[in-house]
């Protein structure tokens, strides 16, 4: 099971962390890398791999900011009315707020950071649009994209989760420790959650409403 561009860790790094030199567990570890990568996507409410033509549909709104979802926006290719296929002029939009948002201007309307005139008929003035944009990070399985490399924090989180999954394989999640004679072994069942909250917190999108 080969890894793809949407995975956020390298098999060799995971094996080094586990002290594994053979290839017996490679397929299983690759499956765990896929699971951990999708867990990161789910928790952060976004994907991180590079896409040359990511798309996002958005409707009219009273604020000029459109959350582009994917991080590290490199360029906006187009903003198009999905009903008429009419493209918005390049002067009507721009990347803003740390490469994470699209700032859009309605025709003949001046935006301010506080919104715009409450009397405007937003639905007719600004119907549903689609933005096509280049964004994301270059993952271990991607190359020559020109994008920034995947942050080491994200790779570390995925590697840590895979190690945790592998080390606790077959372990009953309800059992938190086992006794052998006078010694006790504790299972770090909350490791994944701790990683999500600490290492990945800066990359998480906050969804309101």
Mean pLDDT of successive 10-residue segments in the chain (209 residues)?
Answer: 90 95 94 94 95 89 77 92 87 78 63 49 65 95 93 93 83 53 55 75 81
- Indicate whether 101 belongs to any domain: yes
Q: What is the pLDDT of residue 140?
A: 94
Position 116 scores a pLDDT of 46
Domain final position from 77, 106, 135? 135
Residues 59, 26 within the same domain:
no
pTM, entire model = 0.80
Same domain for 157 and 128: no
2 is a domain residue: no
CB atoms within 10 A of CB 61: 13
Q: Which residues contact 18 (CB under 8 A, 6 or more apart)?
A: 163, 166, 167
pLDDT score at 129 = 85
Is 142 inside a domain boundary? no
pLDDT at 170: 62
Give a yes or no: residue 115 inside a domain.
yes
Q: Are 37 and 64 within one domain?
A: no
pLDDT of residue 150: 97
Which of helix, strand or coil describes residue 161? helix
Please tell me the total number of residues recorded for the chain in this structure: 209
Model pLDDT, residue 108: 47
Q: Which of 2, 3, 5 is nearest to 137 (CA)?
A: 5
- 168 and 127 together in one domain: no
Q: Do 97 and 74 belong together in one domain?
A: yes
The predicted pLDDT at position 151 comes to 96
- Residue at a domain's end among 135, 160, 184: 135
Is residue 126 included in any domain, yes or no? Answer: yes
Both 83 and 123 in one domain: the answer is: yes
- Residue 182 sits in which domain range? 11-48+148-203
In a domain, 40, yes or no: yes
172 and 183 both lie in a single domain = yes
Q: Which of 101, 135, 169 is the last residue of a domain?
A: 135
Domain assignment present for residue 4? The answer is no
Per the DSSP assignment, residues forming a β-bridge with 136 are: none
């Amino acid at each position: 099971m080969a890894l793809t561009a949407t995975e956020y860790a390298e098999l060799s790094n995971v094996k080094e962390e586990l002290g594994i030199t053979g290839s017996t567990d490679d397929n299983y570890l690759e499956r765990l890398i896929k699971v951990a990568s999708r867990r990161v996507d789910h928790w952060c409410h976004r994907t991180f791999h590079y896409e040359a033509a990511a798309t996002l549909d958005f409707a009219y709104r009273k604020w000029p900011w459109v959350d582009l979802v994917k991080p590290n926006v490199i360029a906006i290719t187009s903003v198009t009315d999905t009903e008429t296929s009419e493209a918005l002029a390049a002067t009507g939009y721009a990347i803003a707020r740390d490469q994470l948002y699209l700032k859009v201007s309605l025709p003949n309307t001046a935006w301010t950071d506080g919104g715009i005139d409450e009397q405007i008929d937003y639905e007719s003035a600004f119907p549903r649009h689609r933005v096509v944009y280049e964004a994301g990070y270059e993952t271990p399985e991607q190359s020559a994209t020109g994008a920034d490399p995947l942050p080491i924090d994200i790779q570390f989180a995925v590697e840590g989760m895979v190690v945790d999954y592998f080390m606790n394989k077959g372990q009953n999640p309800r059992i938190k420790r086992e006794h052998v004679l006078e010694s006790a072994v504790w299972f770090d069942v909350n490791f994944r959650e701790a990683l999500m909250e600490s290492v990945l917190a800066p990359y998480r999108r906050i969804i309101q409403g």
